[in-house]
Amino acid sequence: MVKYIVVTGGVMSGLGKGITTASIGRLLKNKGYEVTAIKIDPYLNVDAGTMNPYQHGEVFVLDDGGEVDLDLGNYERFLDIELTKDHNITTGKVYLSVITKERRGEYLGSTVQIIPHITDEIKRQIKDVAERSEAEICLIEVGGTVGDIESMPFLETLRQLRMEEEVMFVHVTLVLNDAQGEQKTKPTQHSVKELRELGLQPDVIVARCREPLLDSTKEKISLFCDVKKEAVIGAVDVDDIYRLPSVFAEEGLFDVIKEKLKLDDRDAMESSWENVVIQLDSISRRKHVKMPRIAIVGKYTHLVDSYLSIREAIKHAAMELGCKPKIEWIEAEEFEEDEEGVERLWDYHGILVPGGFGTRGVEGKMMAIRYAREHDIPYLGLCLGMQLSIVEFARNVVGLEGAGSTEWSETPHPVIDLLPEQKKLKDYGGTMRLGGYEIDIVEGTLAHQIYGRKKIRERHRHRYEVNPKYVPLLQKHGLVISGTHKERVEIIEFPKNRFYLATQFHPEFNSRPGKASPPFVGFLRSMLR
Ligand code: GLN
């Protein structure tokens, strides 16, 4: 029987509920339990695929092709597991399923209502995923904050779930310091009150706080919120999110969960997570740490979460190599307005051009790629970054004037284009190539060197491809195609440079602490020489 831990949030959004959920999961995994996690997103979108990363943060892509909330990325990274699109439940998905059944007449003439039909459907989806995952403990994070209209049916469902399954509730809040430095518990009290009005009583309160929670603060929260004092857990700010499982361990969270969920005793061998903590410690202890500067030239650079997985992948690589990169986000359009501006890239040890859609900023990104190529600055291009590398190369090395991608406009040299099968799909609503595909790597290339293997599997999210007609011409001018999936170009490199590698896939989605993504390790290593 799967046991459930429900994580809700109060006071305000952005308290790091996703990281908290992932860290609780990791704590349990370190103790020897099989864990999985579900994210509930109360919005009406069926999935995150259509959502603007500028408003919502990155769209995370799973191996099965699911386009999901970025918190699933946090779960995969912390728990080192692979999730499916069903691990992200949205209001849109639930209603779509209920309305489809209603149209098929499956409700046999009854009035279809939020209770019980929507709530039953939510329950069915939760249990289904949890059981299929074969985990012992399933975390369920409810997006948004308690009190949002959208999340009501979900909270009602979880209240009911308690009658049927072993469930515990964790509520994440914030403890602020006032001007005198006193820790204030009123917002926590209020949000627990709100939770209780819905018939839910938390078993654990995780309070985000700048300084460790004082004993007296814990006592007060315990008294007013009806939670045992040991179950008031301080989530003090940490220098790195991967330290949070250790914080929870020290605060005694495991014993509280063990008692509440009646978990059996295990002699867990310390897991691979220990290495992650060792890597972090060794960097923070070192007096002299190399700090390569990386410029990420993109479009949504003012919302750092729009490239969350890239940031994490760089961090994983840095942990492995024992350095501390400094990432700077540069709006590609800046270069278009001021051509000299691209010269400022000289100050960086590495340049990264990430994925993206649409036309805005593409010329600026290509200026950055050209600068990297001509000045031999280590360069990593991802998805759109690779497509732009091809266009830049076609224009400035091969000499194909006006070369471009048919995604942006008509061009005499469509070096990036829709393949015929994708064209067919586009007529039916523009389906993308999504998820994990096997890739063959050419021996003796940089890609082979960094991956150390001839077959890899990486995740995709794009429509356009390198036009195979132009491949021989590009190769003749020194571009190397080092990875392919059938006739599709997956990895390119330019061996004249120290490190110039670009991928059609998104390696960042497979990167994990302790298992850094090879292109990121290679990229960073080339900067340390
Ligand atoms: N816009 C490009 C395509 O659809 C690249 C997509 C991406 O970078 N994720 O092919």
How far is the C-alpha of 273 from the C-alpha of 258, rounded, in Å?
A: 20
Best residue among 407, 419, 425 to mutate for probing ligand 1's pocket (most ligand atoms within 8 Å of CB) is 407
Provide the 3-class DSSP secondary structure of residue 80: coil
Q: Are residues 233 and 349 in the same domain?
A: no
Pocket test for ligand 1, best of 462, 503, 505 (most atoms within 8 A of CB): 462
Closest-lying ligand 1 atom to the alpha carbon of residue 465: 10
CA dist list (Å): 458 to 91, 195, 357 = 29, 41, 20
Sequence-ordered alpha helix ranges (H) in 270-383: 273-285, 308-321, 333-337, 362-374
CB 527 within 8 A of CB 378: yes
The active-site residue, picked from 225, 323, 383, 493, is 383
Q: How many domains is the chain partitioned into structurally?
A: 2
The secondary structure of residue 86, as a DSSP letter, is: G
pLDDT exceeds cutoff 60 at 379: yes
Q: What are the CA-CA distances from residue 334 to residues 308, 363, 404, 425, 473 (Å)?
A: 22, 10, 21, 35, 32
The H or E element that residue 214 is part of is: none
Q: What is the rounded distance in angstroms from the CA atom of residue 330 to the CA atom of residue 301?
A: 6
Q: Are residues 87 and 127 in the same domain?
A: yes
Q: Which of the listed residues 274, 302, 321 is the one where a domain comes to its end?
A: 274
Going by C-alpha positions, the residue among 175, 179, 199, 169 that lies closest to residue 188 is 175
DSSP state of 355: -
Residues 202 and 305 in one domain: no
Query: What residues pair up with 174 in beta bridges, in sequence order?
Result: 208
pLDDT above 90: residue 420 = no
Distance 207 CA to ligand 1 centre (A): 40
Does residue 380 fall inside a structural domain?
yes
Neighbours of 45 (CB within 10 A): 15
Put residue 407 in one of left, alpha, beta given phi > 0 → left and psi -120 to 50 → alpha. alpha
The vertex-146 CA angle with 92 and 33, nearest 5°, equals 80
Tens digits of per-residue pLDDT, 456-485? Answer: 999 999 999 999 999 999 999 999 999 999
Atom of ligand 1 lying closest to residue 354 CA: 8
Q: Is residue 279 part of a domain?
A: no
What residue's CA is closest to ligand 1, atom 3? 462
Q: What is the Å distance from ligand 1's center to 505 Cα?
A: 9
- pLDDT, position 301: 66
Question: Which amino acid belongs to residue 299?
Answer: K
- Which of 224, 240, 274 lies at the terminal end of a domain, its last residue? 274
Instruction: Looking at the structure, tell me whether residues 451 and 367 fall in a common domain.
Output: yes
Q: How far, in Å, from the CA of 145 to the mean position of ligand 1?
A: 33
> What are the start-end ranges of the E strands in 108-249?
137-142, 167-174, 176-177, 183-184, 204-209, 232-236
- Tell me the pLDDT tens digit for each residue of 85-135: 999 999 999 999 999 999 999 999 899 999 999 999 999 999 999 999 989
For the record, the structure tokens of 81 come out as 């597991």
CA of 195 to the centre of ligand 1 (A): 42
Phi, psi of 58 (to 5 degrees): -55, 150
What's the pLDDT score for residue 430? Answer: 58
Q: Which segment of 67-76, 136-145, 189-198, 332-341 scores lowest on mean pLDDT?
A: 332-341
**Distance from the alpha carbon of residue 423 to the mean position of ligand 1, in angstroms:** 15
pLDDT of residue 250: 94
Q: Is residue 502 part of a domain?
A: yes
- Is 506 annotated in the active site? yes
In short, whether 368's Cβ falls inside 6 Å of ligand 1 is: no
Residues 138 and 174 occupy one common structural domain: yes
355 CB near ligand 1 (under 6 Å): yes
Q: Where are the strands (E) in 155-298, listed by range? A: 167-174, 176-177, 183-184, 204-209, 232-236, 293-298
Q: Is the CB of 407 under 6 A from ligand 1?
A: yes
What mean pLDDT, rounded, does the chain reach? 93
Judge whether 336 counts as a catalytic residue.
Answer: no
DSSP-derived secondary structure letter, 118: I
**CATH code of the domain covering residue 145:** 3.40.50.300
Q: Which atom of ligand 1 is nearest to the CA of 382?
A: 8
Q: Which domain holds residue 455?
A: 287-528
* Same domain, yes or no: 270 and 291: no
In 10 A of CB 105, how many CB atoms?
Answer: 8
Q: Is the pLDDT of residue 310 over 90?
A: yes
| Separate counts of helices (H) and strands (E) for the chain | 19, 23
Domain closes at, from 215, 250, 274: 274
Residues 260, 306 within the same domain: no
| Residue 32 belongs to a domain | yes
Query: pLDDT band at 424, cuts 50/70/90?
Result: confident
- Closest residue by CA, ligand 1 atom 6: 462
Q: How confident is the model at residue 428 (pLDDT cuts 50, 70, 90)?
A: low
Q: Give me the pLDDT at residue 214, please.
A: 93
Provide the pLDDT confidence category of residue 272 given band limits of 50, 70 and 90: confident
241 and 373 share a domain? no
Say whether 508 is catalytic.
yes
pLDDT tens for 286-306 read 888 889 999 999 887 667 788
273 lines ligand 1 (CB under 6 A): no
Report whether residue 300 contacts ligand 1, using a CB cutoff of 6 Å.
no
Domain contains 245: yes
Q: What is the CATH number of the domain that holds 420?
A: 3.40.50.880
Looking at the structure, do residues 342 and 226 belong to the same domain, yes or no?
no
Mean local confidence (pLDDT), 333-350: 91
Q: Which atom of ligand 1 is nearest to 461's Cα?
A: 9
Q: Ligand 1 centre from 41 Cα, in Å?
A: 25
Pick the residue whose CA is nearest to atom 5 on ligand 1. Answer: 384
203, 3 in Cβ contact below 8 A?
no
Centre of ligand 1 to C-alpha 504, Å, is 8
Domain contains 303 = yes
Rounded to the nearest whole angstrom, what is the distance from the C-alpha of residue 126 to the centroid of ligand 1?
Answer: 32
491 and 438 in one domain? yes
Is residue 332 in some structural domain? yes
Q: Does ligand 1 lie within 6 Å of residue 357's CB atom?
A: yes
Q: Are 484 and 397 in the same domain?
A: yes
Say what percent of the chain tops pLDDT 70. 98
State yes or no: pLDDT of 429 exceeds 60. no
Evaluate: CB of 384 within 6 angstroms of ligand 1. Answer: yes
Nearest CA to ligand 1 atom 8: 355
Task: Say whether pTM exceeds 0.85.
Answer: yes
Instruction: Tell me: do 209 and 326 sit in the same domain.
Output: no
Q: Tell me if 183 is assigned to some domain.
A: yes
